[in-house]
C-alpha cells in the first residue's frame, strides 16, 4: 500500500481516521502502531518482523545505554554496528550473494531490499545516539517508541523524523480543526504533485528509455523531466507525510524548500532532502570535526559525508553510480568552500545556472543503469545519435505545458500567490481551497484508477 493507491485512499485512510478520532487519547498511540504495522505489512509482508526487530532492538539498546552508563560507549558501538550491518546486509545482498555464488557455484537469489529500511534505520539510530549523547529523553514505553519508529506517514520514504522531533507529541499532542484541515490540504497537494506531475513526467522519461536511437533533444527532455519528476515524486511524498502527520497531531520537519531556486550547491543541499542532510551533518560531519579542523581535513570530511550520502541511496550492483553521484557533490561542495562560493555569492544567476546544470547531469547519473548506462546517456546528451529527431520534437511539444507547470511549481511562486490571496481576499480562499482540494482529489483519483503501477522513486532506498 502506498499513499497514492486506492486501498490507502479509500479504505485504509477513512477507516483509520474514524477509528482514530473515536479512540480515547490514551489508546491513540496503540491504534497508530497497529495501523502502521498493517500499512507496512500490506507493502512488505515478509520483512515486517525486521521493522519490529529494529524497533525492539533500538529500544533495548537505548534502555541499556541509560541503565549502564559505564558501558554506554560499547553499547552504542554495538547498536550502530548492528543497524548499519543490517542495512549493508540487505542493500548489498546482490553483491555478496553474487560473490558467494561465484565462490561456491551456488545459485542463491539476492535478497530484496526491505521497504523503507534506509529511512527507519536512520531514524532508529538517531534515537539511540541521541540517548547516548543525552540529547533525547529515554522513552521507557516500548509501544510509544515503536509508534514513533513505525509511524506510517513517514515510515517508508521520510522525512527522516528524529525522536526529539516528536518526543513531546508522542505523549501530549493536540488535535485541532486547523491542523486537521491544513494537514488534509497538504496531503492533497502532495498527492497531486505525485500523481499528476511526477507520474506524467515519468511517462515522458519512459518514452526516452523506449526510444531506439534518441537524439540530444530527446536526451535533454529526459534530463529535464527526470529532475522534475524526482523532485515532485519525493517532495510530493514528503508533503503527504507531513500532511498526514498533522492530521494525527504530529509536526514533522520540512524536507524540501524549493531546491531548484538555489544559488549554490551548498544552498541546494540545504533545500533538498533536508532531513537526510541534517542527519549526516549531525551524526557524521560534526563528529568528524566538521569545518573546525584543518582545511585538508575539512575537505576530507566533506568528501566522506557525501560519499556516504551517495552510498545511502545506492544498493546492489548499481551502487557505484550513487557513490559517484555523492562524490560529485562532495567535490563541488569542496570547490564552493574554496573559491566558487564567493563567485556565486557575487553573481547569483551564475550560481543558479551552475546548480541547474549540475542537478541535471547529477540526476542523469542518478537514474542511469550502471556506469555504462551513464556513459551512454551522457553521449546522447551530447549528440551521439544526432541533435534532434521527430519523436523528440513531438514529446517536447506534447509535454510543454506539463513541463512549464512543473517548472513554475518548483518555485515559490504558487505559494506566494496563495499567501497573497489569503492576505488580500481571505473570503475567496475559504471557497477556493475546498474547491481546489476536491478538484485535485478528483483528477488524482482519475489518474490513479487508470494508471499502470508507478511506485515512488525513493521507495527503493
Pair 82, 125: CB distance under 8 Å: no
Q: Which residue has the cell 540487505?
A: 90
- Using the rule CB under 8 A, which residue among 17, 138, 284, 360 binds another protein? 17
Q: Which residues of 274-309 are buried (b: 16+ CB within 10 A; e: fewer)?
A: bbbbbbbbbbebeeeebeeeeeeebbbbbbebbbeb
Smallest distance from another protein to CB 427, Å: 5
Based on CB atoms, which residue is closest to another protein, 171 or 398? Answer: 398
Could you give the count of Cα atoms lying within 13 Å of 440 in the half-sphere of its Cβ?
Answer: 20
- Quick one: which H or E segment has residue 359? helix 348-367
Spell out, one character per residue from 376 to 415, where the chain touches another protein: x when CB under 8 A holds, - when not.
Answer: --------------xx-xx--xxxxxx--x----------
Q: Which of 211, 221, 302, 332 binds another protein (CB under 8 A)?
A: 211
**Closest by Cα among 267, 277, 255 to 356:** 267
Provide the 10 A C-beta neighbour count for residue 32.
27
Name the catalytic one among 172, 175, 273, 313: 313
Residue choice 26, 106, 107, 210 for contact with another protein (CB under 8 A): 210
Question: What are the phi and psi torsion angles at 436 (to 5°)?
Answer: -65, -40
Nearest CA among 387, 380, 332 for reference residue 354: 332
- From 184, 276, 299, 324, residue interacting with another protein (rule: CB under 8 A): 184
Cβ-Cβ contacts under 8 Å for 61 (sequence gap 6 or more) = 75, 76, 78, 79, 128
Q: Is 22 in the site for another protein (CB under 8 A)?
A: no
| CB nearer to another protein: pick between 125 and 410 | 410
Q: Is 5 in the site for another protein (CB under 8 A)?
A: yes
237/243 Cα distance (integer angstroms): 10
DSSP state of 112: P
Mask 122-161, x = binds another protein (CB under 8 A)?
----------------------------------------
Backbone angles phi, psi at 314, to 5 degrees: -85, 160
Cβ closest to another protein, residue 5 vs residue 233? 5
Among 1, 82, 170, 323, which residue sits at the site for another protein (rule: CB under 8 A)?
1
State the Cα–Cα distance between residues 32 and 25, nearest whole angstrom.
11
Per CB under 8 A, 239 contacts another protein: no
| Residue 185 neighbours by CB under 8 Å, 6+ apart | 243, 433, 437
CB of 345 to another protein, least distance (A): 38
Taking residues 26 to 65 in sequence order and writing x for each that binds another protein by CB under 8 A, - otherwise, the string is: ---------------xxxxxx-------------------
Only segment of 92-100, 206-214, 250-258, 345-353 that touches another protein (CB under 8 A): 206-214
- Encoded one letter per residue, x for contact with another protein by CB under 8 A and - for no contact, window 306-345 reads ----------------------------------------
Candidate ranges 92-100, 256-264, 275-283, 429-437; the one touching another protein (CB under 8 A): 429-437
* Separation between Cα atoms, residue 168 and residue 446, nearest integer Å: 39
19 in contact with another protein (CB under 8 A): no
- By beta-carbon proximity to another protein, the closer residue of 37 and 328 is 37
- What whole-number distance in Å separates Cα of residue 335 and Cα of residue 265? 10
438 near another protein, judged by CB under 8 A: yes
175 as an active site residue: the answer is no
Tell which one of 88, 286, 356, 443 touches another protein (CB under 8 A).
443
Max intra-chain CA distance, the chain = 72
Of 13 and 324, nearer to another protein (C-beta) is 13
Among candidate residues 133, 142, 194, 187, the one with its CA nearest the CA of residue 164:
133
**Which sequence positions are flagged as catalytic?**
313
Residues that bind another protein (CB under 8 A): 1, 5-7, 9-11, 13-14, 17, 41-46, 177-178, 180-182, 184-185, 188, 200, 210-212, 390-391, 393-394, 397-402, 405, 426-427, 429-431, 433-435, 437-438, 441-443, 445-451, 453
Amino acid at each position: 500500500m502506498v499513499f497514492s493507491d486506492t486501498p490507502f485512499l479509500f479504505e485504509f485512510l477513512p477507516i483509520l481516521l474514524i477509528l482514530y478520532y473515536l479512540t480515547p487519547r490514551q489508546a491513540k498511540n496503540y491504534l497508530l502502531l497497529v495501523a502502521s504495522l498493517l500499512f507496512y505489512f500490506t507493502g512488505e509482508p515478509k520483512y515486517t518482523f525486521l521493522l519490529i526487530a529494529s524497533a525492539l532492538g533500538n529500544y533495548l539498546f537505548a534502555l541499556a545505554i541509560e541503565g549502564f552508563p559505564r558501558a554506554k560507549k560499547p553499547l552504542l558501538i554495538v547498536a550502530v554496528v548492528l543497524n548499519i550491518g543490517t542495512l549493508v546486509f540487505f542493500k548489498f545482498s546482490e553483491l555478496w550473494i553474487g560473490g558467494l555464488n561465484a565462490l561456491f557455484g551456488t545459485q542463491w537469489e539476492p535478497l530484496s531490499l526491505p521497504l523503507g529500511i534506509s529511512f527507519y534505520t536512520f531514524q532508529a539510530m538517531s534515537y539511540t545516539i541521541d540517548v547516548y549523547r543525552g540529547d533525547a529523553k529515554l522513552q521507557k514505553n516500548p509501544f510509544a517508541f515503536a509508534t514513533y519508529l513505525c509511524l506510517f506517514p513517514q515510515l517508508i520514504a521520510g522525512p527522516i523524523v528524529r525522536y526529539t522531533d516528536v518526543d513531546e507529541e508522542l505523549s501530549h499532542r493536540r488535535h485541532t480543526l486547523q491542523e486537521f484541515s491544513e494537514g488534509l490540504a497538504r496531503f492533497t497537494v502532495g498527492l497531486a504533485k505525485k500523481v499528476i506531475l511526477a507520474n506524467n513526467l515519468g511517462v515522458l522519461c519512459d518514452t526516452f528509455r523506449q526510444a531506439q536511437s534518441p537524439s540530444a533533444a530527446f536526451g535533454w527532455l529526459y534530463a529535464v523531466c527526470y529532475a522534475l519528476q524526482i523532485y515532485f515524486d519525493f517532495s510530493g511524498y514528503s508533503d503527504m507525510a507531513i500532511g498526514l502527520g498533522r492530521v494525527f497531531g504530529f509536526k514533522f520537519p520540512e524536507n524540501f524548500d524549493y531546491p531548484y531556486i538555489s544559488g549554490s550547491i551548498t544552498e541546494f543541499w540545504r533545500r533538498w532532502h533536508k532531513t537526510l542532510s541534517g542527519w549526516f551533518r549531525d551524526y557524521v560531519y560534526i563528529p568528524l570535526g566538521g569545518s573546525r579542523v584543518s582545511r585538508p581535513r575539512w575537505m576530507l570530511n566533506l568528501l566522506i559525508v557525501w560519499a556516504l550520502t551517495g552510498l545511502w541511496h545506492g544498493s546492489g550492483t548499481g551502487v557505484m553510480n550513487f557513490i559517484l553521484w555523492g562524490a560529485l557533490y562532495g567535490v563541488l561542495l569542496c570547490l564552493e568552500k574554496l573559491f566558487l562560493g564567493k563567485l556565486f555569492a557575487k553573481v547569483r544567476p551564475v550560481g543558479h545556472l551552475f546548480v541547474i546544470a549540475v542537478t541535471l547531469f547529477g540526476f542523469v547519473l542518478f537514474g542511469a543503469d550502471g556506469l555504462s548506462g551513464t556513459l551512454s546517456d551522457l553521449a546522447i546528451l551530447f549528440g551521439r545519435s544526432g541533435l534532434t529527431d521527430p519523436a523528440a520534437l513531438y514529446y517536447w511539444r506534447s509535454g510543454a505545458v506539463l513541463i512549464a507547470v512543473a517548472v513554475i511549481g518548483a518555485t515559490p511562486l504558487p505559494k506566494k500567490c496563495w499567501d497573497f490571496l489569503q492576505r488580500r481576499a481571505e473570503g475567496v480562499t475559504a471557497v477556493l481551497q475546498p474547491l481546489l482540494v476536491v478538484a485535485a482529489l478528483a483528477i488524482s483519483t482519475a489518474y490513479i484508477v487508470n494508471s499502470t503501477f508507478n511506485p515512488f522513486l525513493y521507495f527503493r532506498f
